[in-house]
Amino acid sequence: MVPKSSEVDVPVELRERRGVSTRRDFVAALSTVVAGGVASSAAGSLKVVLAAEQTLRDIAAQKGLIYGCATTQDRLVADPAFERLVVDQCGLLVPENALNWNYVEPSPGRFDFHMGEWLANFAKDRHMKFGGGTIVWHQGLPAWFSSLAPADARQVMLQHVTQTVSHFRGRAFSWVVVNEALAFRGAGAELKDTPLLRLVGPDYIDVAFHAASAADPGALLIYNDNHLEYDIPEDEYRRKNLLKLLRRISNAKVPVGALGIQSHLRTGGLPFDGAKLKDFLSQVSDLGYKIIVSELDVSEKGPETEVADRDRAIANEISRYLNVVLQEKAVIGVVTWGLSSRYTWLANYAPRSDGQPVRPLPYDSDLRPTQAWQAMAAAFDRASQR
Ligand code: XIL
């Protein structure tokens, strides 16, 4: 059985002032508690049990927002409780790796869509949207790509994008067409030095989006990138660079539909400036792009060691971030990179220094909702109607 209830302490004053008998009141109360970072079991508080029928999918949908997660076929097949949770909570399913280039075209011209196909069918059968990707990403490239002659690489990339998007034509809500192209501060260039840049050339992003758009004009085509979220010089540099890229792309009529902002957040008190982030998102929106939070999770870099404290820090990180981001009307939804800490890339990529298992997602490893779930639900509920 999947435990489907969540408990949170809501101060009695809140209950008396607003009542907590309806879901709306409950989530409103919750948003105060979580946003204030004061969820505690202090005397005078009341345990409220979240109604079992409430899901992130529904709470988001009530505002016209989409909520979804990335995962894999293996987990959905092997773990029925996890599968049920994904189906219940998510309105959008994206492959974690299954449609990366190295899986889809393991040798030149030999295409294999069986993993993506399985996920697309799974989503369709369960009335979830399906989001494809990542098509063009330097870390997802097959080894053979790097040994292509520059004269061939452009055509090979174009062909890869065309085949991939055509295969799912009419079935994909969205595609991450290009991922992580922007250089980091200090590199002295706009784009990362990758085989794509070296072999295809500086317009590889343009070529990829034109091919994707021709192959499925109905899909939302996403340019996706990371390290854009915090008020630190590294991210500031990338926000500026990204706006430059998007302006160029918009002038050149490259058919990008949305910016995906990965949103791999971190606890530990990194500077965050809501006004700056809001300004950045509104500039993206002014250029005509939609925005999607595409890979939300939280790695633990703070001093907290007790689970309750860690969860509170994670939830607060999500609250302060989503409460800003969801104010921007161009934001269409949120995807978490996984759903439960039972399965998360951060277990390997960003383990805690004390070795305790990480808790970056809305559900813990026992598939119980955490404060991150509550923070997300509250942020969705606070968001204005789309
Ligand atoms: C990660 C996957 O979760 C891992 O399974 C894989 O080993 C490495 O890639 N940014 C992205 C995602 O755009 O594709 C990455 O996914 C996480 C960081």
∠ CA 273-278-284, rounded to 5°: 135
Lowest-confidence range among 13-22, 91-100, 218-227, 307-316? 13-22
Ligand 1 atom nearest to 176, measured from its CA: 13
Strands (E), the chain: 7-11, 45-49, 66-71, 92-95, 129-132, 136-137, 174-179, 220-225, 258-261, 264-266, 290-299, 331-336
Instruction: In whole angstroms, give the CA distance from residue 93 to residue 70.
Output: 6
Tell me which amino acid residue 74 is: D
Name the residue with the closest Cα to ligand 1, atom 15: 96
The pLDDT confidence band at residue 299, using thresholds 50, 70 and 90, is very high
The pLDDT confidence band at residue 121, using thresholds 50, 70 and 90, is very high
Strands 174-179 and 136-137: parallel
Name the residue with the closest Cα to ligand 1, atom 1: 345
Q: What is the CATH number of domain 56-382?
A: 3.20.20.80
Among 69, 75, 96, which is best to mutate for testing ligand 1, by the most ligand atoms less than 8 A from CB? 96
Structural domain boundaries in the chain? 1-54, 56-382
Distances (CA, A) of 312 to 39, 244, 372: 8, 36, 8
Phi, psi of 71 (to 5 degrees): -160, -170
Start-end of H helices in 10-149 = 12-18, 23-36, 56-61, 73-78, 80-89, 101-104, 114-125
Give the residue-averaged pLDDT of 130-148. Answer: 98
Give the residue-averaged pLDDT of 367-379. Answer: 96
The pLDDT confidence band at residue 46, using thresholds 50, 70 and 90, is very low
CA of 20 to the centre of ligand 1 (A): 40
Distances (CA, A) of 95 to 71, 209, 242, 295: 5, 20, 25, 11
- Ligand 1 site residues (CB inside 6 A) read 96-97, 134, 179, 262, 295, 345
Q: Determine the 3-state secondary structure of 262 from DSSP.
A: coil
Ligand 1 atom nearest to 264, measured from its CA: 18
pLDDT at 53: 59
Phi, psi of 335 (to 5 degrees): -120, 130
Instruction: In whole angstroms, give the CA distance from residue 75 to residue 147.
Output: 34
- Please indicate, yes or no, whether the overall pTM of this predicted structure exceeds 0.75: yes
Which element (helix H / strand E) includes 139? Answer: none
- Contact assessment for residue 370 and residue 314, using Cβ atoms and an 8 Å cutoff: yes
Query: Which distant-in-sequence residues (6+ apart) come within 8 Å of 49 by Cβ?
Result: 5, 6, 7
CA of 176 to the centre of ligand 1 (A): 13
Instruction: In whole angstroms, give the CA distance from residue 80 to residue 83.
Output: 5
Q: Counting Cβ atoms within 10 Å, is residue 366 exposed (0-12), middle (13-18) or buried (19+)? A: exposed
High-pLDDT (> 70) share of the chain, %: 86
Give the residue-averaged pLDDT of 256-277. Answer: 98
High-pLDDT (> 90) share of the chain, %: 86
